[in-house]
Structure 1
């Protein structure tokens, strides 16, 4: 016998609620069509073993890595690995607490001091990820009544930081100094203003004209935050990034960075000379309300950062790799994201997602891993293959890479 109470409840519910996943249906369909064509899932590649910063075993075969952010090759540095082992033995696997409670160990203060020394700045604040660094700093210093002026191609973590703080967002055309100046002039003079820029933009690998943009921002009374995630370690005389290379590092209020690229581990940070900076430790929600980094991670980061201070030879070799790969790909007939190499990132533009996926698969079969990037992560709706060079790629490996691009490009019809 049916329970009348249950029947009555069901009847009262009315029509079923909409599927909350419905908004993803176009992407689900696109992914299913891509996999149905026989392509390996480009967004779910498994590395069975990593042998070095430049080589891994993928699908059972030796594969050159050209799609990591391991720019300075620090992941297997013996001193870095040893520091991690030592901290793991002495302090255990994690802190199980926030930095403002029980989550600050000696290693956390040591890595913040290493950052202060690296950047020659007074203050450093470490987050559990680079994403959280942008999320936390931006949302805390710019609130509802303030304005954030940002490059339209800014990273998702920057946009999310703006949303979390509920600031007024004013985007401007990518790397356009005049557009930035016009936006700033439209903002009330007495309003709080933060200009957010990136040193190197991660999709095309192009560099921002920071010298001009910082000057325009300061003339308008704005504070300036620069995300140097993709430039720390190798751009600039001391590896401090594009702001250093263009001579404006002392005019920038905040520099955001990450440990997951040149430093070779995980975590994020902000450095600054602002005299009131330390109060952020008590008011920044993504810092206060999350567990701190494990002792082994901060130990590896501190060791790596201090070694990066003395890495001029590695920086020079990385630039040589970038120049050689960029020139070689252009000579083969590929369309690239920049006319000249500007960073360790070289973007190879594809005509569409299907061609890009086929080219990605062909390169993987050749023994080369790159990133397949698609909208909305990419600018202007483009599909591209993103190559991220490492200071430990040998001259021979760069030659191998060019040979693989030539073979895969001809097999897929991307080049003649």
Structure 2
């Protein structure tokens, strides 16, 4: 059998992949013709005896020459028809006929399953409606090649299996390492998750505290807005009262100045009268001197006039002092009124600025309430500034 052909065999190979022999004779063919053919082609595994398309029997070359080597066999069978051979006429084992599609392994099992004396007899196969001879030696050689291929494959598989086992051990070690790392990472992840959960809980608590603070801020802002407006209104009323009182002080100052003018005029008149009285007293004294003291009671009148003049002078001085003090007090009142007016104007400006800041605070509170769904009173218009003129 060609070794190059054996290399092409596989466990799926069939009998059709093996070399076959075609040596058929008629039943009437003499044994001498068969013997000559065997001697001419020693590789022939045997001969097939057929009548037209009917299989009569088969005999291997070894069995044929074994029969001919017996005593008297040449005289009995060599020149007589081949069908008279006992192996053909009365076979103890029927020929093994297999289809060409039969795989080599099952064919070997079937051939070796025959009786031991017939185990190595040729196999007949049907191919293309014809019967061919197949040497069992070729079948066994093919089976050996297939088994060798299978063994190599198995060995290769074993080697790959060992490599896989080694790789598996390495991977198992890596898996254990990965598992340990994974366990550590899971533990770390749990710790981080616990920290995150605690942080989230703290954030929720902080959010609640912030919400409460926002509500308190809104309530305080509302209260501050309400009380601030009341305080501003009261302050404006006070400023208005201060402004009115300042106007009254100015008017009273003007009236006092007019009264002081009258007092000054009266003082001037008293002073003038005093001078006139002193002049009359002087004239009376001169008259008395010139009369030589003849006018009785005139001295008493002169003395009284002098006293009256002196009292008028003293009264004039006192009135003048009072008027001076009064002027000083009026100037102080006017200065205080002007200072109060400036203070009131400054206070009004500060209140206006505070009202603006309060309005902005109310807008911020309303915006915050809009986000949190808390209703608040609508902001009021800033109070009109009071003009102090």
TM-score tier after normalising by the smaller chain length:
under 0.3
Which structure: larger Rg? Answer: 2
- Provide TM-score, normalisation by structure 2: 0.18
- Provide TM-score, normalisation by structure 1: 0.17
Which structure: greater helix fraction? 2
